[in-house]
């Protein structure tokens, strides 16, 4: 009984269904756990792949432009937009102040050098000039009196020398006569000695006068030189005083086109005030604004060209104005030969400035990437990412930029704008 009941119990339906039900549940639970772990790993990996690391940023690959570093001929030139300007400009200024009495020439007229442009009135200046003329005239009179006194003293000394010389000649003749009488026995020794003493006196007096005359003449020449210098200065001052009245007529300082000349009768002007300018007519130069990057590479004498009226015209750098304003400086260009007659002031022309010879170099396209990077770094593409790399650039032209270090031929570089990307070390291209 016992064995059969035990057997029947072992083979009963309830006993046969207990084990199969418990084993699939455990397997299903294990599968769910393994799937969850795998899903978590996939999600974590996907998150790590999708979420940028520190110092990285995701950019759209479709909006990113790249180019390959290559070795190619580099044309070292700079295109510029230049404006036609007068070759020379001379400013018109008021030498003396006053009120505009009459305007003789209108703005824009072509004038000759020295041509009267306007007339000023200044009554106070006229009174001052009259007083100064009188003062100078009085001083000139004193100078003339001093010179006249010197001439009179010289004439008196010459007359005294001549009188003494005549007396000496008379005494010598009388001495000779007395000596003959003495030799004939008609004159005593005492009588001859008296005439001899008189002749000796005049001889010594004449010698003293001549010595004194030489010294007086030396002093007189020095004084006369000083007097003449004083007279010349007074005459020059008088001329300046008289010219100050002439300065009430404003004149053109040079020949050319009168511009910025806007005067009206009754208008008050100050001495030294700028009234306008005279620009050279038919003689022109070109003036261009240039990026400060090129300041050290441009110097007077460099060659440039423009295409005008179907001709290629040669120019050269006339001068460089090194003052930098808003990141730009100015350079002036002169024509090699006569400028074209068709040029007009203010006209703009495309100019090509040669900076150096064409020779092979490692180059990248010149583009917006240089503006933000300043040529100090570039993003180099590797797969789906672009790593920031320090570089150095050299010469530039509108199409190319020379790479000095940091890149090699075959490197692919992001050349679209880096605006907003400056802080990042890596770009993730999606």
The CATH number given to whatever domain includes residue 104 is: 2.40.50.100
Q: What is the pLDDT of residues 330-349, one digit of tens each?
A: 999 999 988 888 888 889 99
**Assigned domain for 15 exists:** no
Dist CA 304 CA 285 (whole Å): 12
Structure tokens at 46: 């996907």
Over residues 152-191, the pLDDT tens digits come to 888 888 898 899 899 889 988 988 888 888 888 787 888 7
CA distance 250 to 243: 12
Q: Is residue 6 part of a domain?
A: no
Same domain? 338 vs 290: yes
Residue by residue, DSSP assigns 230-268 as HHHHHHHHHHHHHHHHHTTEEE-SSSEEEES----TT-E
The residues, any chain, with a CB within 8 Å of residue 111's CB and separated by 6 or more, are 105, 117, 252, 255, 256, 257, 258, 278
Residue 405 located in a structural domain: yes
Task: Name the pTM for this structure.
Answer: 0.50
Task: Kindly state whether residues 169 and 233 are assigned to the same domain.
Answer: yes
380 pLDDT band, cuts 50/70/90, is very high
Task: With beta carbons less than 8 A apart as the criterion, state whether 120 and 248 touch.
Answer: yes
Among 196, 226, 246, give the residue marking a domain's end: 246
Same structural domain, 185 and 213: yes
**Alpha carbon distances (Å) from 359 to 71, 72, 73, 411:** 10, 8, 5, 21
Share of the chain above pLDDT 90, in %: 43
Radius of gyration of the chain (CA): 54
Collapsing DSSP to helix, strand or coil, 185 comes out as: coil
pLDDT in tens, 125-145: 778 877 787 777 888 787 788
Residue 321 is encoded by which pair of tokens? Answer: 């104005």
CA end-to-end span of the chain: 80
Does one domain contain both 194 and 149? yes
Question: Is 270 part of a structural domain of the chain?
Answer: yes
Interval 52-83: pLDDT, tens? 556 899 999 888 999 999 999 998 889 999 99
User: What's the whole-number average pLDDT of the chain?
Assistant: 84
CATH number of the domain that residue 332 is part of? 2.40.30.170
For a pLDDT cut of 70, what percent of the chain falls above it?
87
pLDDT at 54: 63
3-class DSSP state for residue 84?
Answer: strand
Q: Which domain holds residue 198?
A: 123-246
Same domain as 343, residue 196: no
Check residue 11 and give its pLDDT.
43
Question: Could you give the strand order of the β-sheet that contains 116-121, starting from the edge strand earlier in sequence?
Answer: 249-251, 116-121, 98-103, 268-269
Phi/psi of residue 307, nearest 5 degrees: -105, 120
Residue 249: beta bridge partners?
Answer: 119
- Same domain for 203 and 60: no
Does one domain contain both 411 and 366? yes
- My answer on whether 140 and 236 are in the same domain is yes
For residue 17, is pLDDT > 50? no
Last residue of a domain, one of 331, 354, 377: 354
Q: What is the CA angle 317-322-326, rounded to 5? A: 115
Backbone angles phi, psi at 408, to 5 degrees: -135, 160
Report if residue 7 sits inside a domain. no
Q: In the chain, how many domains are there? A: 4
Residue 88 DSSP code: -
Per-residue pLDDT at 257 exceeds 50: yes
Q: What is the pLDDT of residue 390?
A: 95
Band of the pLDDT at 29, cuts 50, 70, 90?
low
Q: Are residues 202 and 286 in the same domain?
A: no
Neighbours of 133 (CB within 10 A): 15
Q: Could you tell me where the beta strands, DSSP code E, fall in 61-174?
A: 66-68, 70-74, 77-86, 89-93, 98-103, 110-111, 116-121
Tell whether 379 is covered by a domain.
yes
Q: Which residue has the tokens 């580099």?
A: 74
Answer yes or no: is 146 within a domain.
Answer: yes
Final residue belonging to a domain, choices 226, 246, 266: 246
Does one domain contain both 236 and 271?
no
**Does residue 366 sit in helix, strand or coil?**
coil
Q: Do 288 and 403 fall within a single domain? A: no
Residue 39 vs residue 422, higher pLDDT:
422
Q: How many CB atoms lie within 10 A of CB 34?
A: 10
Task: Tell whether 145 is covered by a domain.
Answer: yes
- The pLDDT tens digits for 282-313 are 889 999 999 998 899 899 999 999 988 888 89
* pLDDT average, residue stretch 369-374: 90
- For residue 61, give the CATH number of its domain: 2.40.420.20
Cα gap 268→284, rounded to integer Å? 34
* Residue appearing with tokens 């009259």: 130
What letter does residue 420 receive in the DSSP assignment?
T
Q: How many whole angstroms separate alpha carbon 80 and alpha carbon 351?
A: 5
Question: Are the C-beta atoms of residues 412 and 67 closer than 8 Å to each other?
Answer: yes
Strand order in the sheet with 110-111: 89-93, 274-279, 256-259, 110-111
Identify the pLDDT of residue 33: 66
Q: Identify the helix (H) or strand (E) that includes residue 339.
A: none
Residues 309 and 375 in one domain: no
Buried b / exposed e across 40-64, counting CB within 10 Å, b at 16+? eeeeeeeeeeeeeeeebeebeeeeb
Asked if the model's pLDDT at residue 425 lies above 80, the reply is yes
Strand duo 268-269 + 70-74: pairing: unpaired
Query: How far apart are alpha carbons 424 and 429 in whole angstroms?
Result: 13
């Amino acid at each position: 009984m016992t064995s059969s009941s035990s057997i029947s119990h072992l083979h009963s339906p309830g006993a046969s269904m207990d084990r199969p039900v418990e084993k699939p549940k455990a397997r299903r639970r294990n599968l769910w756990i393994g799937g969850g772990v795998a899903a978590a790993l996939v999600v974590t990996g996907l998150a790590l792949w999708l979420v940028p690391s520190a110092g990285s940023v995701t950019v759209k690959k479709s909006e990113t432009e790249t180019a390959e570093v290559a070795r190619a001929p580099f044309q070292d030139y700079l295109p510029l937009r230049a404006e036609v300007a007068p070759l020379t400009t001379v400013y018109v200024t008021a030498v003396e102040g006053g009120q505009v009495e009459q305007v003789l020439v209108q703005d824009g007229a072509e004038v000759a050098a020295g041509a009267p442009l306007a007339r000023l009135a200044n009554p106070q200046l006229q009174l001052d000039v009259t007083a100064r003329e009188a003062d100078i005239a009085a001083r000139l009179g004193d100078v003339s009196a001093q010179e006249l006194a010197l001439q009179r003293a010289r004439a008196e000394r010459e007359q005294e020398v001549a009188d003494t010389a005549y007396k000496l000649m008379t005494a010598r003749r009388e001495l000779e006569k007395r000596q003959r009488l003495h030799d004939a026995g008609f004159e005593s020794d005492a009588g001859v000695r008296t005439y001899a003493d008189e002749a000796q006196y005049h001889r010594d007096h004449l010698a003293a006068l001549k010595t004194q005359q030489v010294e007086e003449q030396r002093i007189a020449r020095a004084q006369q030189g000083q007097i003449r210098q004083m007279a010349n200065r007074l005459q020059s001052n008088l001329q300046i005083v008289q010219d100050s009245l002439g300065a009430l007529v404003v004149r053109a300082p040079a020949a050319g086109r009168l511009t910025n000349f806007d005067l009206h009768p009754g208008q008050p002007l100050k001495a030294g005030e700028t009234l306008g300018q005279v620009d050279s007519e038919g003689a022109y130069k070109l003036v261009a604004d240039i990026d400060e990057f090129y300041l050290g590479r441009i110097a007077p004498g460099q060659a440039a060209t423009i295409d005008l009226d179907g001709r290629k015209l040669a120019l050269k750098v006339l001068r460089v104005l090194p003052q930098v304003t808003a990141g730009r400086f100015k350079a002036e260009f002169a024509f090699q030969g006569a400028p074209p007659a068709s040029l007009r002031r203010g006209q703009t022309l495309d100019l090509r400035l040669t900076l150096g010879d064409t020779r092979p170099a490692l180059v990248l396209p010149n583009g917006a990437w240089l503006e933000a990077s300043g040529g100090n770094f570039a993003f180099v593409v590797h797969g789906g990412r672009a790593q920031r790399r320090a570089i150095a650039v050299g010469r530039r032209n509108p199409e190319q930029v020379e790479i000095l270090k940091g890149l090699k031929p075959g490197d692919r570089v992001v050349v679209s704008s880096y605006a907003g990307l400056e802080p990042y070390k890596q770009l993730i291209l999606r």
